[in-house]
């Protein structure tokens, strides 16, 4: 593995070191692990200026966006610190022994969620902090008590190394065991580790093509492992006639969401459905958006091709033409492009139009009947990170079937606003039916920790050999759900009670 040109690193010691960290790391107390996460957050904040500077240079993203992203990333670490100190995530269940249980004497059974083991995290290009080296997957896996190996994204190598050094230093200074966090670089290296039997789970944020490939590798191992991939989403937005009338700045709001971070966001709204004839604000009157660099040459090229395909599709009207410019180092700089089609053209040109455009390009679709949207949505967009509805209160009964279709096919349903700008909170869901994620799981928010845990039950265990979270004296003070003897199911109290 080449950390630097010419330097070859063996992967075996990396997997071995991660495996050796499993037991000591799993044995750390929640408060110690929480303190370590907070120390990592503090260390990253302490190096904010340097890190943001590196990130600007390597990704072309703007300073305010990167400063916000770093704040989000360190907050994420602190949020997971709260989660593990709270202990509810352990889902501790205690069944008291019950000699009179309805299906025969019941032993003392206690169940807790325990860490899966080494987690391989594939970093993303478009969030150099929040979905990269010290990002959400890393925070969730470390919080769960799993050693992490991050496979860096080649789009920001210097930043990845610097971040890794800071994370490693803070974990070491917090007394965490050797090997709980490591960084590797290179595609072949990532794949080799994904095949390594010592890796017990993988998380990935990236394209549908690469995500499927890696998921297949994870499933084909002699011992398959869970692969949590966040792959792709076009995030449709629907507006009713009343909402368009009530929201005169709808198009400029849409354009701001499409062009922020040059549209290189997994939650960028790729489609805006508005009624035929509904007047939008005049695109000519919008202040022309500034040119924005695309992340790296590969992404720039792919965007240029997608844009050409969309502009060349039959029946497409250009609403905001936009631009792509190439400089001498093959970097692309773009302004947003917005086109308009009718539902029939969209259906006829679905091969050209439905694929995700990773960059500042979106499609406005003119629809005739609100009542046909649920069916249309299910057909066109079966798996989304987000779907958004702009409607007025009076629309509620009419849009209820559409809301049902959006919830069925999406991880997050928004009412008003725009899907970009994902809040990191307890209730956030960032993941949905395939291809949004491979498994319907979430990679943002505190529920993300469950991806790296598995249930273990202890039957008739002496107190001395029980995990702390299951002991009667409950030294960590975690929530314990007790099923008392004599309150067993099926005692007859249920029959006919409802």
246 binds its own copies (CB under 8 A): no
Spatial separation of the C-alpha atoms in residues 47 and 70, rounded to whole Å: 10
Token pair of 277, please? 């004839």
Instruction: Identify residues 138-197 at the interface with its own copies (CB under 8 A).
Output: none
Work out which of 46, 175, 224, 288 binds its own copies, going by CB under 8 A.
224
Size of the residue set binding its own copies (CB under 8 A): 103
By CB under 8 A, name the one of 1, 3, 9, 35 that touches its own copies: 35
Which of 435, 449, 468, 471 lies at the binding interface for its own copies (CB under 8 A)? 435
What is the SS3 string spanning the chain?
Answer: CECCCCCECCCHHHHHHHHHHHHHHHCCCHHHHHHHHHHHHHHHHHCHHHHHHHHHHHHCCCHHHHHHHHHHHHHHHHHHHHHHHHCHHHCEEEECCECCCCCCCECCEEEEEEECCCEEEECCCCCCCCCCCCCHHHHHHHHHCCCEEEECCCCCHHHHHHHHHHHHHHHHHCCCCCCCEEEECCHHHHHHHHHCCCCCEEEEECCHHHHHHHHHHHHHCCCCCCEEEECCCCCEEEECHHHHHHCCCHHHHHHHHHHHHHHCCCCCCCEEEEECCCCCCCHHHCCCCCCEECCCHHHHHHHHHHHHHHHHCCCCEEEECCEEEECCCCCEEEECEEEEEEHHHHHHCHHHHCCCCCCCEEEEEEECCHHHHHHHHHHHCCCEEEEEEECCHHHHHHHHHHHHHHHHHEEEEEECCCCCCCCCCCCCCCCCCCCCECCCCCCCCHHHHHHHEEEEEEECCCHHHCCHHHCCCCCCCCCEEEECCCCCCCCCCCCCCC
Q: Among 243, 365, 383, 390, which residue interacts with its own copies (rule: CB under 8 A)?
A: 383
- 232 lines the binding site for its own copies (CB under 8 A): no
- Active-site residue, from 58, 185, 230, 356: 230
Query: Which span (3-11, 71-79, 279-287, 353-361) binds its own copies, by CB under 8 A?
Result: 71-79
Per rule CB under 8 A, is residue 8 in the interface with its own copies? Answer: no
Asked if 282 is part of the footprint of its own copies (rule: CB under 8 A), the reply reads: no
Q: Does 82 interact with its own copies (rule: CB under 8 A)?
A: yes
Q: Quick check: 109 binds its own copies (CB under 8 A)?
A: yes
- Residue from 185, 266, 340, 356 carrying the catalytic annotation: 266
Q: Out of 431, 468, 471, 478, which residue is the one contacting its own copies (CB under 8 A)?
A: 431
Q: Given the rule CB under 8 A, which of 181-189, 286-294, 302-310, 400-408 is the region that contacts its own copies?
A: 400-408
> Rounded to whole angstroms, how far apart are CA atoms 297 and 306?
14
Look up 146 and say whether it is catalytic.
no
Position among 13, 417, 477, 486 found at the interface with its own copies (CB under 8 A):
417
Query: Of the listed pieces 131-139, 240-248, 334-342, 411-419, which binds its own copies according to CB under 8 A?
Result: 411-419
Least gap, CB of 408 to its own copies (angstroms) = 8
Residues 14-33 that bind its own copies (CB under 8 A): 22-23, 31-32
Based on the shown chain and the rule CB under 8 A, indicate whether residue 445 belongs to the binding site for its own copies.
Answer: yes
Which of 49, 394 has the CB closer to its own copies? 394
CB closer to its own copies, 167 vs 310: 167
Between residue 37 and residue 66, which ones bind its own copies under the rule CB under 8 A? 38, 41-42
Interface region with its own copies, contact rule CB under 8 A, candidates 3-11, 48-56, 157-165, 395-403: 395-403
Which of 95, 121, 313 is closest to 205 using CA atoms?
Answer: 121
Q: Which of 20, 47, 78, 162 binds its own copies (CB under 8 A)?
A: 78
Q: Is 230 a catalytic residue?
A: yes
Tokens of 149: 């190996």
Our CB check for its own copies shows the closer of 301 and 454 to be 454
What count of Cα atoms within 13 Å lies in the side-chain half-sphere of residue 89?
27
Interface of this chain with its own copies, residues 293 to 332, rule: CB under 8 A: none
**Least separation, in Å, of the C-beta of 315 and its own copies?**
27
| Contact status: 252 vs its own copies (CB under 8 A) | no
Contact segment (CB under 8 A) with its own copies among 98-106, 241-249, 251-259, 263-271 equals 98-106
For residues 193-222, which are near its own copies according to CB under 8 A? 215-216, 219-220
Residues 331 to 350 in contact with its own copies, rule: CB under 8 A: none
Contact between 276 and 367 (Cβ < 8 Å): yes
Shortest reach from residue 419's CB to its own copies, in Å: 8
Strand ordering across the sheet containing 201-205: 181-184, 148-151, 119-122, 201-205, 227-230
Residue 461 in contact with its own copies, rule: CB under 8 A: yes
**Interface residues for its own copies in 465-484 (CB under 8 A)?**
465, 467, 481, 483
Active site residues: 230, 266
């Amino acid at each position: 593995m080449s950390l630097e040109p010419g330097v070859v690193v063996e992967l075996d010691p990396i997997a071995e070191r991660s495996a050796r960290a499993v037991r000591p790391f799993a044995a750390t107390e929640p408060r110690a692990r929480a303190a370590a996460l907070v120390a990592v957050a503090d260390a990253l904040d302490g190096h904010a200026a340097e890190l943001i500077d590196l990130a600007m240079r390597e990704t072309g993203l703007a300073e305010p966006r990167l400063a916000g992203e770093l704040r989000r990333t360190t907050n994420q670490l602190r949020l997971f610190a709260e989660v593990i100190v709270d202990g509810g995530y352990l889902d501790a269940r205690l069944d008291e022994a019950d000699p009179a249980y309805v299906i025969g004497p019941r032993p003392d059974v206690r169940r807790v969620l325990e860490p899966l083991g080494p987690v391989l995290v594939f970093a993303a290009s478009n969030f150099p902090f929040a979905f990269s080296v010290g990002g959400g997957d890393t925070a969730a896996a470390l919080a769960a008590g799993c050693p992490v190996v991050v496979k860096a994204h080649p789009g920001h190598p210097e930043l990845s190394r610097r971040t890794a050094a800071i994370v490693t230093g803070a974990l070491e200074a917090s007394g965490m065991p050797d090997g709980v966090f490591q960084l590797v670089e290179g595609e072949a290296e990532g794949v080799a580790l994904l095949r390594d039997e010592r890796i017990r789970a993988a998380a990935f944020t990236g394209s549908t093509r690469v995500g499927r490939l890696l998921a297949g590798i994870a499933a084909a191992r002699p011992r398959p492992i869970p692969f949590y991939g966040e792959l792709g989403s076009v995030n449709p937005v629907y507006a009713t006639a009343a909402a368009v009338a009530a929201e005169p700045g709808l198009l400029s709001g849409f354009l701001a969401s499409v062009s922020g971070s040059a549209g290189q966001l997994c939650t960028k709204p790729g489609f805006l459905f508005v009624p035929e004839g509904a007047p939008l604000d005049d695109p000519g009157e919008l202040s022309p958006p500034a040119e924005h660099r695309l992340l790296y040459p590969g992404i720039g090229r792919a965007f240029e091709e997608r844009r050409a395909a969309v502009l060349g599709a039959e029946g497409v009207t250009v609403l905001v033409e936009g631009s792509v410019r190439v400089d001498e180092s093959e970097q692309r700089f773009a302004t947003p492009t917005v086109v308009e089609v009718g539902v029939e053209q969209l259906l006829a040109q679905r091969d050209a139009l439905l694929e995700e455009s990773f960059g500042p390009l979106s499609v406005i679709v003119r629809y005739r009947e609100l009542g046909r949207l649920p069916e249309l949505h299910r057909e066109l967009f079966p798996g989304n990170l987000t779907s958004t509805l702009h409607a007025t209160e009076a629309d509620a009964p009419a849009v209820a079937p559409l809301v049902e279709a959006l919830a069925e096919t999406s991880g997050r349903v928004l009412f008003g606003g725009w899907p970009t700008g994902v809040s990191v909170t307890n209730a956030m869901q960032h993941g949905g039916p395939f291809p949004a994620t491979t498994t319907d799981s979430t990679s943002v928010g505190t529920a993300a920790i469950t991806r790296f845990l598995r249930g273990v039950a202890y039957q008739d265990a002496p107190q001395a050999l029980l995990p702390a979270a299951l002991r009667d004296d409950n030294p960590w003070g975690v929530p314990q759900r007790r099923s008392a003897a004599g309150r067993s199911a099926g005692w007859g109290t249920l029959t006919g009670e409802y």
